[in-house]
Chain A
Amino acid sequence: MNKKNKSLALGFGILGIIIMILPFFAGPYARIIGRAVISYMILALSWDILIRSGQLSFGLAGLFGLGGYISVILTANFGIPGLLSIVLAGVIVGIVAAVIGAAVLRLRGMYFAITTMAFGEIFKIIMHNWKSVSGGPNGKILQGALFQGDSNLGYALMLILALLVILLSEYFKRSRYHFALTAIRDNEVTAKSGGINIYTTLVFTFVVTSMVQGIAGAANSQLIGFVSPESSFNANYTLIPLAMALLGGMYGTWGPVVGAVLLGVLGEFLKLYIPYGHLVVYGLIIILVLLFMPQGIVGLIKRYLFVDTGNDPLPEEKSATKKELSENE
């Protein structure tokens, strides 16, 4: 990376840290909005990790809602502490995803996308009818929200989760999974001939991203203190993260992060200043950005602000190259 790119990356890093920390000093309102934005950011990132393999998932709301329900049921019915229930919800959603993934990841493209779309409805119907456990149509409330509703702690929890998911996304970007997922997306036959176990890679990625979605849903439900079929499995938890990832730019960590912050903050801004027309303006902005910025905002920033250094190798590529060189020597 050249000097200009380094200073730009540093500048954006500092800006990102300021934006992430800002809600701690901007009052409870900013923290709750920040919490909501981070929930969507986590979903957008997890969706992006899977789409790097070319598998388009519409199951975000289903897994998010399932995580929320499991966590609240564990706390309300079995007295398991909130934080522990979030972890357990992630594990259980991971197990469910492994079972489902083993079946649905034999499907590709449109068939996989449509099948995942059904997750939300299936889990919703189960929770809706399993009245003795889930509370049925009325949902379930906790005696008290996690941290007794303390917005600082709530925001801090979501921020920590977001940082962990950013690290996870970077791991998928910088490790051998990056090459495996990209190869699967580009050409499965070539990927297979290159020694990649496509099915195992996809199931593993699906399980990991589903766990992330389940944990996000569990944390969200613990922080608001209740679950209900209509709010927990709301389609917005699928559609908004997708819009965020598309707006920010796909196939990387920073696109979904930037898209979530911009769309989340912009949505709130429009809502306050154009109360009755904000949804129209919001939709219009998304359409215009997608039409004229197909690479997303991060793609645009890279194009106009950063100096194109050609094919800067990734860290793993660098180490691989070094290894090859030393072997040749």
Chain B
Amino acid sequence: MNRKGISLMLILLMAASMIFAQGGQDSDTIKFGGVWPLGDITGEQASKAAQVAVDEINANGGLLGKQVELIVIDSEFNPEKGAAAIERLATIDKVDFFVGVVSSGVHLGQIPTLKTYKKITMITGAASHLAEEAIGADQEWYFHLHPWDYNQGASYVEGWNAIAEKYSEISIGRWFLAYEEGAFGSASFEATKALFSDMEIDGEPFLSAAAGGGDYSAVLQRAKAYDPDVFIWAGYDADALPLLEQSKAIDFDPALFVGAPPGWPADFGESKLAEDVTLYGLWAPSLNEISEVSAKFYNGFIAKTGTEPATYFAPLGYAAIQIIAQAVEEAGTMDQDAIIAELKKIQYESPTGEVISFGPSNIISNQGIRNQKILQWQNGVQQVIWPFEQATSEPKYPFTPWSQR
């Protein structure tokens, strides 16, 4: 073989050895291993918010006198890659804690690996009850921050009933759900039918702009003819503005116009179309007015990234680190059992405006947040309208007619 051939092979072998190289363990550092989809705003912001928390902890002297490090790996929204990331963090980076995850599919792929290592794990996403079934009971090291799908559904019912009761002018008896025809939208429709079974419900699918669609005229005409009290669309952020544009074009302005995408387009609130749109979420910048922790998180995030947190996964990423850090401080040791015991007792005042503690859900022992919030865009700002104890504004009702905008 000539020199060129030998050089090429050496380069290939060096590249392989660099990737799979064993990372040295520094005992003076406490390591968090985070796995999020970095190509998506949810994962990108959650991971950066987690770094904000790590920086804050280090600025305050670290944990147990040690510096804290966050190692982030992209899950690429791929279950196999998500599982490989956990393997790497456990065996090569030798992290002390796992945090992260957006997407139930990725989490399902990770669960067998997580069960192998049984390190303390704080999950920021994954709402599917299948993930809860896959984890199973008696996994004391497993902590789930994000509400499960049935928690979310129950909180919507509770929230809307509470709103209708408190504000007698608000009617919620007749619902129409426009849902993207993929897994997310269809599951939302099935869940809504089951949850609000004592009400009148109809619905129709549409092809999301995220999947190459974007024409909502048929479904909007159907909804207009149905004349619902509450119109909900379950799609993706790409649907938000065109769906509102087309609603305006056909003059469809139901009394309550609710959007339930996992994320919203950047600067959505700046559009006049956004006004009065109601949504679900765990956090909004308006919570800064009633929560010092929220304001601290918000300012820290902007200082570090130069952008505003646009998704509630950001405060969840931040909270995941802070909760474990608080438990480590309380335990005064890195002993896993002692930290788990502290986590089970924790009362963490979170940026989401509520005090987070852990307790049993349907299967697991350590479920954190159980309620989604109901929010509403008002003058370009997401305001919390339910739960009332965290409310930052009263609901605006009914939806302002398009002609008056």
Q: Which residues of A contact B (CB under 8 A)?
A: 4, 7-8, 11-12, 15, 18-19, 22-23, 26-30, 32-33, 35-36, 39, 125, 128-129, 136-139, 141, 144-145, 149, 151, 220, 223-226, 228-231, 234, 236, 265-266, 268-269, 271-272, 275-276, 278-279, 301, 304-305
Contacts and interface: CB of A to CB of B under 8 A. Distances in A.
Contacts of B109: 224-226, 231
A276 B44 contact: yes
Given A29-B84, A32-B87, A279-B39, A271 B74 contact: yes
14 contacts: A8-B1, A19-B16, A22-B20, A27-B92, A32-B80, A136-B190, A139-B105, A141-B108, A226-B130, A228-B183, A230-B183, A265-B19, A268-B19, A279-B39
A29 B1 contact: no
Contacts of B105: 139, 226, 228, 230-231
B12 A19 contact: yes
Interface string B1-44: 11011101100110110111010000000000000001100001
B113 interface: yes
A231 B116 CA distance: 23
Contacts of B79: 224, 226, 231
A12 B77 CA distance: 34
Nearest to A10: B1
A26 B20 CA distance: 7
Contact of B72 (A138, A275, A279, A305): A275
Interface in B116-151: 116, 128-130, 133-134
A139 B19 contact: no
A28 B18 CA distance: 16
Contacts of B4: 304-305
Given A19-B12, A138-B130, A141-B108, A29 B20 contact: yes
A22 B16 contact: yes
Given A29-B92, A305-B4, 6 more contacts: A22-B16, A128-B182, A129-B186, A138-B128, A226-B130, A278-B38
Interface of B: 1-2, 4-6, 8-9, 12-13, 15-16, 18-20, 22, 38-39, 44, 47, 72-74, 76-81, 83-84, 87-88, 91-92, 104-106, 108-109, 112-113, 116, 128-130, 133-134, 181-184, 186-187, 190
B234 to A, nearest CB: 11
Contacts of B1: 7-8, 11
B80 A27 contact: no
A159 to B, nearest CB: 15
B76 A271 contact: yes
Tell me what chain A mostly uses at the interface: helix, strand, loop, or mixed: helix
Given A141-B108, A269-B18, A271-B73, A4 B87 contact: no
B6 to A, nearest CB: 8
Contact of A230 (B22, B81, B182): B182
Nearest to A236: B78
Residue with the greatest number of chain B CB neighbours at <10 A, chosen from A28, A29, A39: A29
A141 B84 contact: no
Given A36-B84, A137-B190, A145-B112, A275 B18 contact: no
Contacts of B13: 15, 18
Given A28-B91, A305-B4, A149 B112 contact: yes
Residue with the greatest number of chain B CB neighbours at <10 A, chosen from A4, A19, A137: A137
Q: Which A-B residue pairs are the 6 nearest by beta carbons? A: A137-B183, A32-B84, A137-B187, A29-B87, A231-B105, A29-B88
Contacts of A125: 181
A276 B43 CA distance: 10
B182 A229 contact: yes
A265 to B, nearest CB: 6
A136 B2 contact: no
A91 B62 CA distance: 58
A15 B20 contact: no
A279 B74 CA distance: 10
A15 B109 CA distance: 31
Nearest to A261: B12
A76 to B, nearest CB: 12
B369 to A, nearest CB: 21
Contacts of B186: 128-129, 136-137
A27 B13 CA distance: 16
A35 B80 contact: yes
Contacts of A32: 80, 83-84, 87
B133 to A, nearest CB: 7
Residue with the greatest number of chain A CB neighbours at <10 A, chosen from B4, B74, B134: B74
Contacts of A230: 105, 182-184
A114 to B, nearest CB: 13
A129 B74 CA distance: 31
A136 B6 CA distance: 53
A29 B91 contact: yes
B112 A225 contact: yes
A141 B109 CA distance: 10
Nearest to B36: A275
Given A141-B130, A149-B116, A230-B105, A28 B87 contact: yes
Residue with the greatest number of chain A CB neighbours at <10 A, chosen from B12, B13, B129: B12
Given A32-B87, A230-B183, A15 B12 contact: yes
